[in-house]
Amino acid sequence: MDPQNLTARVYRESLADKNGVLVKDIARLNRPLDNVITMEPYPETAKQYADNSLIVKRWNGDKKDRFFTEAIVFLECKFYEIDLTL
């Protein structure tokens, strides 16, 4: 989320190969990194930007899983801070 209430997604084309491990290159979002939080089920892909990464359980399709609904409160709190690094 950014101040204009926009979101961005980082897909496979934004991954970089670092020593045989694919990592998210959030610098490609072209915004200040202190305004970026990623939600990632794979810690190894978030190593390069660990301060910006929230490691989450991978969603398995369970419609009763409310993790992301409950995470909204946390994200909204972080949204109103200037520095969003974790």
**What tens digit of pLDDT does each residue of 46-58 get?**
888 888 888 888 8
1-49 per-position pLDDT tens digit: 455 555 667 677 777 888 888 888 888 788 888 878 888 888 888 888 8
**In this structure, are residues 1 and 79 in contact, taking their beta carbons and an 8 Å threshold?**
yes
Distances (CA, A) of 4 to 1, 16, 39, 78, 80: 8, 28, 20, 15, 12
User: Structural domain boundaries of the chain?
Assistant: 12-79
Q: What class, spelled out in words, does domain 12-79 have in CATH?
A: alpha beta
